[in-house]
Structure formats: C-alpha cells, structure tokens
Amino acid sequence: MSNPQPAISNLKLKIILLVEDNQDDEVLTLRALRQNNILNEVVVARDGVEALDYLFAAGAHKGRDTNIMPQVILLDLKLPKIDGFEVLKRIRSDSRTKHLPVVILTSSKEEKDLINGYSLGANSYICKPVDFENFIEAVRQLGLYWLVLNEAPPIIRRS
C-alpha cells in the first residue's frame, strides 16, 4: 500500500509526457502550453519506443526514478516504430502505469481510431484543430482539466 501523496505544488513533479513525432506539432503544442501559462515540465518522446523507455526507465532513460510518473500523457496515434495504440496497450498492462491518465491528441477523427482508443483505455480523445486559435483553446482546457482539476492516481510502487 502506498500513502496518497498530498497535492504537490511543485510543478516539476507534475510532468506532462508529450508523445509526438511531428516537430512542428511539438513546437506548436509547447507554444500553446506556454501561452496558457502551463509551465509544467514537458518530457517529449518522438516515437513509441522513446515513450515506453521513459515510462519504464529503459534505454536512454535507464536509471530514471519510476516513482515519478507523468500527471498526464498526451499521445499521438501515428508514430514511428511503435504506434500510439501499442504504447497505450503497454501502459495499461503494466501495474506501474495502468492508472496514468492518457489523452489521445491526434489529427484523426476516424471512427475506427476513436473506438480503438477508448477500447484500449484512453481517458480522453482530442482531435487537434487546424485553426491554431482553436488549438490553443483546446490545450488550455486540457491543461486546466488534467493538471489542475483532475486528481492524479496514487503512484503504485513495485514491491
């Protein structure tokens, strides 16, 4: 059993994991976060493997403290190497990450993707608008909800 941590005001610990392979989208997302005064640490993974390495302290992230987990994961679907659905599947099948809030943030409005995403346990599905103003608004609401309003799940330590 773990003690539920009191809400930590330290933004450093409310990490956002952004899984995004498109560098333009990365820049725009970071900019949108900044414009909304969301100053949390953002870890960027540029493909599925990198995302999983970060979460499970493997590869380039070997030795990372897995007691620190992101407050929310913003997950693109179309990714090199391992795609978003596979990343989501692995997150949900590991006891350390299975409760992490995952928001699918993608260009696609395909019904197939929506069904797949929710079936695999996505907490939310947001289609990135082309209109940047709309995008900023979406990021603002997203940040407000997942970083402020939403209570993160307690961290489950591996025994």
Partner 1 sequence: MDIGRNLTKNNIKILEFIPDAIVIVNSDGRIVFVNSQAVKVFGYNRDEMIGKHVEMLVPERLRDLHVGHRSDYYSRPTPRPMGLCVNITCLRKDRSEFPADISLSPIETEEGVLVISDIRDITERKRAEEEIRRLNEDLERRIAERTAELKAANMHLEQEIVERKALKEERDLFFTLSLDLQCIAGFDGFFKQLNPEWEKALGWKTEELLAKPYIEFVHPEDRRPTSTEAQRLSFGKAVISFENRYLCKDGSYKWLQWNAFPSVERQLTYATARDVTERKEMEEEIKKLNKDLECRAMQLEVANKELEAFSYSVSHDLRAPLRSMDGFSQALLEEYIAKLDDQGKDYLGRIRAASQRMAQLIDDMLSLSRVTRSEMHREPVDLSQLTAEIAAGFKKSQPERKAEFIITPGLVAYGDQHLLRIALENLFGNAWKFTGKCQEARIGFGVTQYEGKEAFFVRDNGAGFDMTYAGKLFGAFQRLHGMKEFPGTGIGLSIVMRIIHRHGGRIWAEGKVEQGATFYFTLSLT
Residues in contact with partner 1 by CB under 8 A are 22, 24-25, 28, 31, 77-78, 106-113, 128-133, 135
**Cβ contacts of residue 2 below 8 Å, gap of 6+?**
154, 155, 156, 157
- Minimum distance between the CB of residue 112 and partner 1, rounded to whole angstroms? 8
CB of 98 to partner 1, least distance (A): 27
**Nearest approach, Cβ of residue 82 and partner 1 (Å):** 16
Give whichever of 50 and 113 is closer to partner 1, judged by the CB atom: 113
109: left (phi over 0), alpha (psi -120 to 50) or beta: alpha
Strand partners, 18: 44, 74
Nearer to partner 1, 111 or 151 (CB): 111
Cα 112 to Cα 117: distance, rounded to the nearest angstrom: 8
Nearer CB in complex with partner 1: 69/79: 79
Nearer to partner 1, 130 or 149 (CB): 130
Distance CA 45, CA 67 (A): 19
CB of 38 to partner 1, least distance (A): 17
- In this structure, the strands spanning 42-45 and 16-19 are parallel
